[in-house]
Every structure is written in structure tokens, then in C-alpha cells.
Amino acid sequence: MYEPENENEISEQTNETVSSGEYRYGGGFEKESIYSDAHYTSADDNTVPPRYYTPPEPKRPVKKEKSGKGGKLIGLIALCLVCAILGGVVGAGFMSGRLSERVESLEKARNELVLAQAARDAAESEGTVATPVSSGAALTAAQLYDQACKQVVGVTTEVTYTNFFGMNSSSAVSGTGFIVSSDGYILTNYHVIELAAQNNKDVNVILHDGTRYVASIVGYEKYNDIAVLKIDAEGLTPVVFGNSSGIAVGDLVYAVGNPLGELDFSMSTGHVSALDRLITSDESGVAINMFQIDAAVNSGNSGGPVYNAAGEVIGVVTAKYASTGVEGLGFAIPINDAVSIANDLITKGYVSGKAYMGVSIDQRYNAMYAQYWGMPVGAYVYSVESGSCADKAGVQEKDIIIKLGERNITGYTDLTSALHSFSAGDTTDVTVYRGGEEITLTITFDEAKS
């Protein structure tokens, strides 16, 4: 029977690496095509510098330097054993003292943000970020661009890597974001600030006039590729949200951002090409609902807004088709989804309603191991969190999860993806292989708090 060999070996198998940045169109998890995000491409290995774009210094004079208040959100990665912590597939008791201190610091900073937001809400009788509003009169392209320049920001962070000669080098990761409140909340993609979150690096925000800030990371939701930043500023011009549920194929759209990390505040135009595309990230395996546009988007556009003809934001640029010679295939997260996530991150520090299972999965267990040991492919349960819904359902260590709901499970990525099709409180069947037989259990999912 398959047995994990030792803790150190297992840990090595589950360390997180630089995101591949690739997406696929899932089409219901059937035939898939490879996509890449509009932010960066992957490094071949740890000895080759990542192919990030390094923007030049802004040509406009810098007016002031400010640092955002509050702690930076630390990326919670797998800490030991085989436990890769993704979505609700987690283990219990792996938090170090040092990490606990950082989380406490972050919690304090987040509480301050929530209290400040509550005070503003009471004074202004407004929502946390905003709610979608109906479309207004159409703007000319020039009018829209003039407006967008007040609302769109550049987002950069520095990463370090080992170069060909074994020396540490650094490079900039560049993306785009947009202002969602006059006091400095900014929405962008998680993958734009992913390495900064994981490595406690500064995130820099640059306004159109050249003013540069160091932002704090309020929160992020990696599976939906959304992050919220905060800069110490007042009197900013926030975007107006449109209603992404009302968009139609053929609608005119504009994308404003920083393609290639160099051509800052560029605008491209196009149309909505398709709706309800399921785009799957190679790293998480989770399908995200997006709409397709033919406006030109490139590396550095990630996290930027998609405007409708009225100058309202209806989406967040996230991915583009990666095949050589193919253009005109960009994808955006609907703004209604993004705003809902952003509000949860600001007020709660996590996205509410996500299903949580409470198991740790040995990612080394694959088809080769299964064949060798004469067992089925699936997600090998390394441990079960005491008191979790998996524990209550009867899932045990060394079980192999082979089905969740109606979806067959062939490994960790399948399980993570399947889990994200459920919400907290949902009840379904989970089928496990144990002791030579298949056992079907009933599970009611807990709510993920991170």
C-alpha cells in the first residue's frame, strides 16, 4: 500500500513555485486550449530569470512619496508535510509562531481598515466599494480616455531570482489597477501582486501624474484572481461601475492599462466577443467565469479596467490567448463578481460563502503511484482536520477521494476545482477508496475563512 515516506520529502514535493501564469478555456472541463495571463510568462526553472517586463522610470516628475498604512498580507503557503493549502483543501496545526505573529499584525491592520470604512459609510451613506449602476450616455473615445487617466494606476513590484551565474538579481513585475474609492482602495489581479504577497515585497502604485505610493495589500482571492490594495491618499477619482450582467456580444469596450509594463496608460478598443467563458488557471485548476473581448491586451494590462461606451467599468482584464500568432482573444472578470469579492476582502478579510473541506492532500500520489500499488487514481488524504466537515462525514487518513458530487477526482487539482463549484452549507456525496472498496459518504461543507 502507498505510504508517504517522510515529512521532509513530502514538504519538498509541495513547495509553491512561481506561477505558470497559464490559463485554459475549460468549456465545462472538456477540451481545453492553453491561455496565458496578460501579466507575465513563467520561468523555465529557478536558475533562469523570469521573463518579466521592467518599466522605465516615469518621464513625468514625481510629486511625492507616500507609504500605505497597514501591514502587508503574507501569502499563506504550504508550511510543512505534504499539505498544499488551496481553497478548502487544507490541513490543521501547521502554523509557525512567526507566521502567527504576522497574521496577528495583519488582522490588526485589517480591523483598522474596516473601522475606517465603517465610519466613512456612516458619514457618506455609501456602500463599501460601490454597487453596479445603470449605464449612462456614451462618451467619445477622447472623453473616456481623459476620464480613465484619473482612475487607472500602474502597479509594480520587485522580485528577486538567481541568475545564470548563481548571483541574486532583481526584476520588476508590472500590471495595472484602478481606483475604487476616493480614499485609496485599488482593485487589481491577484497574479499581479502574487510574488509580493508571498515574499513580503513592496507594491508600488503610480498615478497618471507620476505620483508614486507604496501600497498595503488589504486582501486577495487567488482562485478568482482578485486583489485589493490601499494607498494613503485622499481626493482620488474612483471609477463608476457598470452592470456586467447586462453586457451583450457586440458591445463596444475599451481597455486602459500598461501593456508590456512600458507603454503606460495605453487605450485599446474592441467589442465583447463572447460571454460566460470558463477560463482555467494552470496553477489552481479552478475555472473562472469571464467574458471575451477583442480589444488588444498584453503583458502589463492585467488588473486594468474594461470600460463600456458610457465610461463605466464592466470587467477586469485578466488573460489573453497565448498561442503564437493569435491576437484578438482577451478575457475579463465581470465587474459584478469582482466588486462582490472586493467588498468581502475589505470588510471581512476573506471571501464569504466558499466551501471548505478540511483535508490535506499528498500531491505526490499520481497515476504512476496508483498503478504501482494497484490502487485507483484520486486525491490521497494525508490528514483530516479534527472537527471539520470531512471529519464529521467520516473521511479518514489514507483514504483516496475518487469522486466529489458528480465529478470524478483524479488528483489534487481536480479536487480543488470541484470544491470551488460548491458553496458553504452545500451537501453532496464524496466517494473514497478505503481498504479495497469504494465508500460513499455525505458531506456538508464548512465555510472557508481565508
Which residues are known catalytic residues?
191, 225, 302
- Contacting residues for 350 by C-beta, under 8 A, at least 6 apart: 219, 221, 344, 448, 449, 450
**Residue of 41, 55, 39, 46 lying closest to 17 (CA atoms):** 46
Could you tell me if 145 and 307 are in contact, meaning their C-beta atoms sit under 8 angstroms apart? no
- Contacting residues for 405 by C-beta, under 8 A, at least 6 apart: 418, 421, 422, 428, 429, 430
CA distance 343 to 341: 5
Could you tell me if 183 and 68 are in contact, meaning their C-beta atoms sit under 8 angstroms apart? no
The one-letter amino acid code at 220 reads Y
Give the burial class of 81: count Cβ atoms within 10 A of its Cβ; 0-12 exposed, 13-18 middle, 19 or more buried: buried
CB atoms closer than 10 angstroms to residue 147: 17
DSSP 60: S
CA distance 207 to 288: 29
**Three cell numbers written together for 72:** 502587508
Q: Which residues pair with 410 in a beta bridge?
A: none
**Residue of 302, 110, 94 lying closest to 190 (CA atoms):** 302
**Three cell numbers written together for 37:** 495571463
